[in-house]
């Protein structure tokens, strides 16, 4: 992802960053993906070493 930031200064110091709206949406989506990945990694770590249930068994338990 390439960003095209514009830095707005106040009294000679960087104060704000402005990026095009589409780039903002791209950054927001990437952050959401990162959050989802972290949640997945935490869930996997919390259940590490546990035995899974085959999908057919899950279906049978649910009446499918």
Q: What is the pLDDT along the chain (64 residues), one digit of tens a residue?
A: 899 999 999 999 999 999 999 999 999 999 999 999 999 999 999 999 999 899 999 999 999 9
Q: Can you tell me the distance from the alpha carbon of 2 to that of 22, in angstroms, rounded to the nearest whole number?
A: 11
pLDDT for the residue numbered 19: 98
Local structure of residue 17 (DSSP, 8 states): E
CA distances from 38 to 41, 46, 48 (A): 5, 12, 15
User: pTM for the complete prediction?
Assistant: 0.67
pLDDT for the residue numbered 37: 98
pLDDT for the residue numbered 12: 96
């Amino acid at each position: 992802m390439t960003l095209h930031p514009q830095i707005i200064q106040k009294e000679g110091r960087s104060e704000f960053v402005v990026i095009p709206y589409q780039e903002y949406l791209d950054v927001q989506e990437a952050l959401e993906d990162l959050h989802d990945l972290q949640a997945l990694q935490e869930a996997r770590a919390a259940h590490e070493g546990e035995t899974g249930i085959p999908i057919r068994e899950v279906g049978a338990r649910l009446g499918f």
